[in-house]
Amino acid sequence: MASARGEFSSRFGFVMAAAGSAVGLGNIWGFPTQAASNGGAAFLVVYLIVAFTLAYPALMAELIIGRHAHANAVTALRQLSNTAPQRLIGGTTGLIGLVVASLILSFYAIVAGWMMAFCIASLATLAGADSLALWLTDFSLERNILGMVAFMGLTVAIIARGVQDGIERWSSRLMPVLLLTLLLLVVYVLTLDGAMDGLRVYLLPDFGRALAPDLILKALGAAFFSLSLGVGTMLIYGSYLDDRQNLPLVGGLVTGVDIGIAVLAGFLVLPAMYVALHNGVEIFTAGGELISEDTLIFTVLPSLFASMGIAGVVVSLFFFFLMSIAALTSSISMLEVPVAYTVENHGVRRKQAALAIGACIGLASTLILLNFETLFGLVVAVTTRYSQPLIGFVFCIYVGWIWHRDQLLQELRKGNPEVARGLFWKIWPWWVRVVCPLIILAIFAQSLL
């Protein structure tokens, strides 16, 4: 059915879009570096357990609410409410989610702009334009703003085209390219000297480190960010799903792809770090810890690429291209949250909404760039560490306590008439009602301490 509010045309299109949202900088950059410094394969095991026991059920909550309401989070949570206070809390939560999604995009676009700049810098080097390449890889306000604006421009252009022509078409094109690029890079890096040392660090489990309580909570936060939960993104994607889809299955596919890509990225990033070490690049801090996060991506890997001559330029081009694509399929899902609300609840045309909201978020990014030292870390912490788990908590409460069980079953039956007999229905309803909210509260309490 080609409804007025847009719909994914196929299961493949939906899975590519939702997995595209989930697979982002968090997978290719965040997960491997965290695994490296927190017990390697043991962290991987903890992450897998957490992803399937907490993130997957929370993802299902968002998808089911969205598919049931066929509306954005504000409208959907209001619809599920039985009383006026519930309606108020639901609507407010939806609105906060929308602001949080926009704020996440405001810092994400900055980092994605750097990725694009590094990608184009490799092209410039290949073309012999060395001074341009130098400018693009140097941390300057002008470069940062230009990269951010270019990236936001791409995001707005896709979202302005709507669900099928924009989100679905571009996710379905870009996700296979991402997977292919990642596979090529993994195969290439594994052939280089030193790669096996990295593989060892990644695959040898150190359970002593991975079972530390704060680490389990870290893995929870990472899984939440990685599956784009707690801002209404998955809810709005679920709202574009047609009623014939089997929700537990598509949710499982999205979770599987997200985790699969994170694990695969570990086979690239960890070996690459040890190849860099082999080539004389420092990868440990003074304290003996493995270098991670921004230093890794923007210092260690570029020095590795530089030590590899012309092949390094090509690998660098592929690597930052991969990062840019991963970021783009995630950023469009963030922008869709406020745009869908503005279009549906305020009758604004999609193109105008995308442009105006994109411009506002671009302004917020500029503000962050102008006060980088104080604002960047703050916005990251407030949105990802505090807001995402808390809003996710409210989604679970709405599904577990406010929505009637029979209606929930009816919604699930639409795409899977036998669902009541399966394992999913035996476990998930009480899990999302009791276990998920308790664990999310634990994460929240921990991050407050």
Which positions lie near ligand PFF, rule CB under 6 A?
Answer: 21-22, 24-27, 101, 104, 225-226, 228, 231, 233, 330, 333-334
Residues in the chain: 449
Angle (deg, nearest 10), helices 309-346 and 84-126: 150
Residue 121: CB minimum distance to ligand PFF, A = 22
Three-class HEC string of 181-243: HHHHHHHHHHCCCCHHHHHHHHHCCCHHHHCCHHHHHHHHHHHHHHCCCCCCHHHHHHHCCCC
Closer to ligand PFF by CB, 27 or 292: give it.
27
Residue 367: CB minimum distance to ligand PFF, A = 20
Placement of tokens 């537990």 in the chain? 248
Q: Report whether 298 contacts 29 (CB < 8 A).
A: no
Placement of tokens 């870009």 in the chain? 174
Closer to ligand PFF by CB, 259 or 281: give it.
259
Residue 326: CB minimum distance to ligand PFF, A = 7
CB atoms within 10 A of CB 306: 14
d(CA 156, CA 328): 10
Placement of tokens 């989930």 in the chain? 22
Residue 343: CB minimum distance to ligand PFF, A = 18
Point out which residues pair with 284 in neighbouring strands.
290
Closer to ligand PFF by CB, 33 or 226: give it.
226
Residue 71: CB minimum distance to ligand PFF, A = 18
Ramachandran category for residue 40: left, alpha or beta (phi over 0 → left; psi -120 to 50 → alpha): left
Closer to ligand PFF by CB, 30 or 415: give it.
30
Residue 226: CB minimum distance to ligand PFF, A = 4
Point out which residues pair with 290 in neighbouring strands.
284
Closer to ligand PFF by CB, 125 or 388: give it.
388
Closer to ligand PFF by CB, 23 or 270: give it.
23
Residue 235: CB minimum distance to ligand PFF, A = 10
Single-letter amino acid, residue 314:
V
Closer to ligand PFF by CB, 44 or 133: give it.
44
